[in-house]
Amino acid sequence: MTATPDLRSARPASPELLRSVFRQHAAGVAVITAAGQAPVGFTATSLTSVSAEPPVISFGIGLGASSWPTVAEADHVGVHILGEHQADLAGTFAKSGADRFGAPTRWFEGPEGVPILDGVLAWLVCRVIARVPAGDHRIVLAEAVCGDPAGAGRPLLYHQGRFNALRD
């Protein structure tokens, strides 16, 4: 039998409560990219597989994110699953004002002109099919067009506000 939670410690919903609760949730780390006048990208822990048939994914992006104006207009996006060896890359794409596509980031122009990051565990190019309002974010739904799952390594995780590796 499990212990009953102490409901007296429950707090009203707030942005801080949500952040505190989700610090307890380990999530895989992805980078989403899109082509525009210049390539854009951001680190995402909200990536979700939505449907296998057709192959649809989703991710959230804040309306204030520097990548949002390009993602808002993009027909296609790149989805990159990062490995534990890529914590620095995740940090670069999470940092406001960083030169995300400058050295040492290695990337190439992929299908549909989407920027594809080199050395990731897996990547997809996806066609955007919807942008759903969700508070101060948009949930982007996109159908996979092509990709490569053949990268080597173990996944990078985000937990307690830090990038982490799996433990054996």
Summarize pLDDT for 102-160 with one digit per residue, the tens: 999 999 999 999 999 999 999 999 999 999 999 999 999 999 999 999 999 999 999 88
In a domain, 165, yes or no: no
Residue 71 falls inside a structural domain: yes
Evaluate whether residue 10 is within a structural domain.
no
Q: Can you tell me the distance from the alpha carbon of 74 to that of 167, in angstroms, rounded to the nearest whole number? A: 37
Q: Output the six-digit token pair for 34.
A: 């899109």
Q: Count structural domains, the chain.
A: 1
Residue 73 has, within 13 A of its CA and on its CB side, a CA count of 8
* Tens digit of each residue's pLDDT (9 = 90 or more) over 19-71: 888 888 889 999 999 999 999 999 999 999 999 999 999 999 999 999 999 99
CATH number at residue 64: 2.30.110.10
Confidence of residue 80 (pLDDT cuts 50, 70, 90): very high
In angstroms, the CA 54 to CA 149 distance is 18
Instruction: Note whether residue 9 is domain-resident.
Output: no
3-state SS assignment for residue 62? strand
Residue 90's domain comprises 17-153
**142 falls within a domain:** yes
Torsion angle of C-alpha atoms 111, 151, 30, 35, degrees rounded to 10: -20
In a domain, 4, yes or no: no
The answer to whether position 160 is within a domain reads no
Spatial separation of the C-alpha atoms in residues 70 and 58, rounded to whole Å = 17
- Could you tell me the pTM of the whole model? 0.91
Does a structural domain hold residue 159? Answer: no
**pLDDT of res. 98:** 85
pLDDT at residue 93 above 90? Answer: yes
